[in-house]
Structures are given as C-alpha cells and as structure tokens.
Amino acid sequence: ELESYRASLAANVECRRAIEAAISSNYGDNRLDADAAVKSVLEQFSPERVRYVLANTIQQKDFDGRIPQPLKEWAKSVDVCPENASRFLVDKPNPGLTALFVDAFRQQTEAQQEVTSEKTEERDPEVVAWENDEITSIEVKTVEVKSPFAPLPEEAAKAPKAHRLTAEEKEIKAAVMDTLKGQIAYNNDGMRASYRASNHSFNLLARNGVRIEGNTVTQNGEPLFKIHRRHAARKTQGCYRELMPTLEYITQEQKQEKPSIRDQLRTAAKQQPEKKSPVKSKTHDMEL
C-alpha cells in the first residue's frame, strides 16, 4: 500500500496549495470571498480530502487564538494521521482568513448533507419498496378519522392538565441535563470530550437524592423524569452519535407503586362476602 499512501499524501499537498491559492486570489480590499474560494477548491478535490486537510491545519494550530473554539472542536472530530502532517499544513494565509474559509466550507458541505439526510428520512418505506418492485399486492384498510373540530368544553375539562414544574424541580432538571450532556460528550468523544458537567450540578443532585438510572431519573428512590434518548441519523466514525435527550415528567399516577401481596390479600378478603354458618335445627322429643 506504499504507492497508494504516497499518492494520497501528494494529493493532500496539492489540496493545501489549492486552498492557499484560492484564499490569495479571492482576497482583496480587506475582504475574503470565502464562498468563491471554497467552490474553486471543491471543483478540484473531493469534500472529504478538503475536510481532512483543513482539520489537520486547525489541529496543528490549536494554540492560535485567532481560530474560534467551535472550529477547533470540529477539527478534533476528524481523525488525522500525524505522520507527515506538516507537509499539507495550510500555513501561508493568515489564520483568521483560514477560519473564514473553514466556516464557508462547512456551510456548503454540511448543509447539503443535512438536506439529503432529511429527504431520505421523509421518504415512506412503503413507497421505496414499491419503487424497487418489492411489493406485489396492496391491502386497502379503512381508517376512521376523528373530527378536526375542537373538543367540547366538558371534554376539555375532563382532560388532565399538564404538570407545572416547581422551582426545585426546574433546578433538578437543569442539573440532570448538564450531567447528561457531560456523559454524552464523553461517550461520543472519550477522553477528547471538551464538555464536562459542573460541580454545582453534581452537588445539587447529591443534596436532593437524585440519581440517573438508565433511562429514568429518580429522587429518593421514586421516579421523577423519564429520559427519551436520541441518536444521529447518520453514522460518524462508524457509530451513531448520541444527541441531547428530552426529559418527561412522570405523573403521580405512574409513580404509584403496586401494593404488596399482603395488602392485595387483605383487600380481596374484604371484598368477599362473609360466609354464614348453617343454622342447626332444634328437635324436641314429644312424649305421648
């Protein structure tokens, strides 16, 4: 694979030169036409190679304060081989102009990826199967549709009202979300995770007896919130990255535990009718 490696390294060097030339040719009057510069580079190289070269450049310039922190975090998500990495380092332009180029590149490439992923998600799987000639028969079902009119006042009054969180519950929810954010960042990026949960959240959860057990948040052993976890639609580095979840308050009806077996037997005994003992008939000996 040595020839393939050398060809890829040469292509990375040419991509670096194309980026430097594009920034130089599209910069004038203290202004950079970043969109035009990115388009000229993408006409010559694939988005994957341009992303690789730009991520390597930002990783090499992690100490430079002229590059925004979000771009540094984005660059860390791309695995770059450190061997010969200095040969395709974009170093001639000002780091601020390189950051503008990276922003324009992300807007052009990542926006297209989101649009294509949304289109694939919106397509009905039955329609896709029909287009691929995988469906040979169609079953028609009649579905009753409820009236779109608003419910009557009596029905609206019977509907359960949504629970309003108290001030304490809001603080607990914010601390739980902060803790989950730190856990998700560590699960996604490992030791390179840039986000850590605050000590205030840790102390608040410990003081109120709150624990995160799987997909449930408990307080003093009783369920408080239900965690609805979400994952990205597309794989990144071979795995589905976890997104920020949503918390659902568990109502009092769901919190009620099942009664013990002893209580169930007692209630069953109370509901059964009392058995009356049969009446003994008295016999009288009659003497004639």
Residue range 41-70, pLDDT digits in tens: 999 999 999 999 999 998 888 888 888 898
pLDDT, residue 31, reads 87
The reply to whether 6 and 116 lie within a common domain is yes
pLDDT, residue 160, reads 62
Question: Which of the four pLDDT bands, split at 50, 70 and 90, describes residue 155?
Answer: low
DSSP annotation of 44: T
The reply to whether 101 and 179 lie within a common domain is no
The reply to whether 189 and 251 lie within a common domain is yes
**280 assigned to some structural domain:** no
Quote the domain boundaries for residue 196.
163-256
Q: Does residue 89 surpass a pLDDT of 70?
A: yes
The reply to whether 188 and 107 lie within a common domain is no
pLDDT, residue 252, reads 62
The reply to whether 196 and 95 lie within a common domain is no
Residue 173 · residue 165 · CB < 8 Å: yes
Q: How far apart are CA 215 and CA 226, in angstroms?
A: 6
Summarize pLDDT for 218-268 with one digit per residue, the tens: 998 888 899 999 888 888 777 888 888 898 888 665 555 556 677 778 888
**149 assigned to some structural domain:** no
pLDDT, residue 11, reads 92
**127 assigned to some structural domain:** no
Average pLDDT over residues 91-116: 82
Q: Does residue 154 surpass a pLDDT of 70?
A: no
**134 assigned to some structural domain:** no
The reply to whether 33 and 111 lie within a common domain is yes
Q: How does 128-141 read in b/e, with b if 16+ C-beta sit within 10 Å? A: eeeeeeeeeeeeee
Question: Which of the four pLDDT bands, split at 50, 70 and 90, describes residue 186?
Answer: confident
3-class secondary structure, 205? helix
Q: How far apart are CA 288 and CA 286, in angstroms?
A: 6
178: Cβ contacts below 8 Å, ≥ 6 apart: 197, 198, 201
The reply to whether 203 and 114 lie within a common domain is no
Out of 63, 89, 121, a domain closes at: 121
pLDDT, residue 128, reads 64
pLDDT, residue 175, reads 92
The reply to whether 34 and 106 lie within a common domain is yes
pLDDT, residue 178, reads 92
- Compute the C-alpha angle 163/224/252, nearest 5°: 50
Tokens of 188: 């996604």
**261 assigned to some structural domain:** no
Instruction: Report how many domains make up the chain.
Output: 2
Question: Which of the four pLDDT bands, split at 50, 70 and 90, describes residue 1?
Answer: confident
Q: How far apart are CA 11 and CA 19, in angstroms?
A: 12
The reply to whether 242 and 185 lie within a common domain is yes
**133 assigned to some structural domain:** no
Distances (CA, A) of 127 to 12, 132, 135, 143, 278: 42, 9, 9, 19, 73
Q: What is the dihedral of CA 163, 169, 172, 176, to 10 degrees?
A: 0
Residue 129 · residue 135 · CB < 8 Å: yes
The reply to whether 7 and 114 lie within a common domain is yes
Question: Which of the four pLDDT bands, split at 50, 70 and 90, describes residue 123?
Answer: low
pLDDT, residue 241, reads 85
pLDDT, residue 10, reads 92
pTM (global) more than 0.85: no
Strand 210-213 to 216-219 pairing: antiparallel
Q: Which residues partner with 218 through β-bridges? A: 211, 223
Unique residue bearing structure tokens 């629970």: 163
**96 assigned to some structural domain:** yes
**144 assigned to some structural domain:** no
The reply to whether 115 and 168 lie within a common domain is no
pLDDT, residue 12, reads 92
Sign of torsion, CA 81 194 73 121?
A: positive
DSSP labels, 66-112: TS-HHHHHHHHTS----TTGGGG---SS-HHHHHHHHHHHHHHHHHH
Strand 222-236 to 210-213 pairing: unpaired
Q: What is the dihedral of CA 251, 252, 258, 259, to 10 degrees?
A: 180
The reply to whether 108 and 169 lie within a common domain is no
Instruction: Report the 10 Å Cβ neighbour count for 76.
Output: 17
Q: What percent of the chain has pLDDT over 90?
A: 20
